[in-house]
Structure 1
Amino acid sequence: MNNQELENWHDYEVESRREIVALLRQIGEKNQLIRMLVKGEADVCVTSILDVDPDTNTVVLDRSIDREQNERIVAAGRVRCETYLDKIRILFTAEELAPTLFEGNAALRADIPPTLIRLQRREYYRMETPVSNPVRAILPLPAELGLGTAVFPLHDISCGGIAVMDHKNQLSTVIGENLPNCRIELPEIGPVTVTLQIRNSLDVTMLNNKTSRRIGLQFIDMSRGGDAAVQRYITKLERERNARLAGLA
Structure 2
Amino acid sequence: MSLALPSLGTENQSPYQVESRREILALLKGFRDKSQLISLMINNGSEAFITSVLDIDDANNTVIIDSAPGHEANQRIVEASSVFFDGLLDRISIQFSSSKLQRTQFEGRPALQMPVPTSVIRLQRRENYRINTPVSMPIKCVIPIETESGKQNQKFSLVDISCGGIAILDDRNLIDITIGTCYEFCQIDIPNIGLIDLTLQIRNSQELTLLNGKTTRRIGCAFVNLSSRTLTSVQRYIMKLERERNAKMTGM
What is the TM-score with the length of structure 2 in the denominator?
Answer: 0.54
- Deviation of the 1:133 alpha carbon: 0.6
Deviation at residue 190 of structure 1 after TM alignment: 1.4
Question: Which residue does 2:229 correspond to in 1?
Answer: 225
Q: Which amino acid aligns with 2:173?
A: N
Q: What residue number does 1:205 align with? A: 209
1:195 is paired with a residue whose SS is strand
2:164 corresponds, among 151, 160, 172, to 160
Counterpart residue type for residue 158 of structure 2: L
Structure 1 residues 167 and 36: alpha-carbon distance in aligned structure 2, compared to 1, 3 A threshold: same
| Structure-1 separation of matches of 2:250 and 2:229 | 32
Question: Larger RCO: Structure 1 or Structure 2 (Cα < 8 Å, ≥ 6 residues apart)?
Answer: 2
SS in 2 for 1:194: strand
Q: Is the 8 A contact 2:18 2:24 kept in 1?
A: no
Deviation digits for residues 180-219 of structure 1, max 9, x if unmatched? 1110111111111111000011111123210011110000
- Cα deviation, 1:111-169, whole Å, max 9, x if unaligned, reads xxxxxx9864131x211101111111001213457421101110110111000111111
SS of the equivalent of 1:193 reads strand
| Bigger Rg over Cα | 1
Give the aligned partner of residue 193 of structure 2. Answer: 189
Distance 2:193 2:204 in 1: 27
Instruction: Find the partner of 1:122 among 127, 135, 140.
Output: 127
Aligned equivalents of 2:17, 2:197: Cα separation in 1: 40
Give the 3 Å change call, closer, same or farther, for CA 36–174 of structure 1 in structure 2.
farther
Instruction: Say which SS state the counterpart of residue 142 (structure 1) adopts.
Output: strand
Which whole-Å CA distance do the structure 2 matches of 1:145 and 1:210 have between them? 29
Identify the residue that residue 180 of structure 2 maps to in structure 1.
176
One-letter amino acid of the counterpart of residue 173, structure 1: I
One-letter amino acid of the counterpart of residue 149, structure 1? N
In structure 2, what is the equivalent of residue 83 of structure 1?
A: none
Q: Give the conservation status (yes or no) of the 8 Å contact 1:163–1:214.
A: yes
Query: What amino acid does structure 2 have at the position aligned with 1:126?
Result: R
Aligned residues with identical type, % of pairs: 40
User: Matched residue pairs, number?
Assistant: 164
Q: Which runs of 5+ in 2 are unaligned?
A: 26-81, 85-91, 97-121
Q: TM-score, normalised by structure 1?
A: 0.55
- Counterpart CA distance in 2 for 1:190 and 1:118 is 32
Name the SS for the 1:141 alignment partner.
strand
**Structure 1 position 41 matched with structure 2 position 45:** no
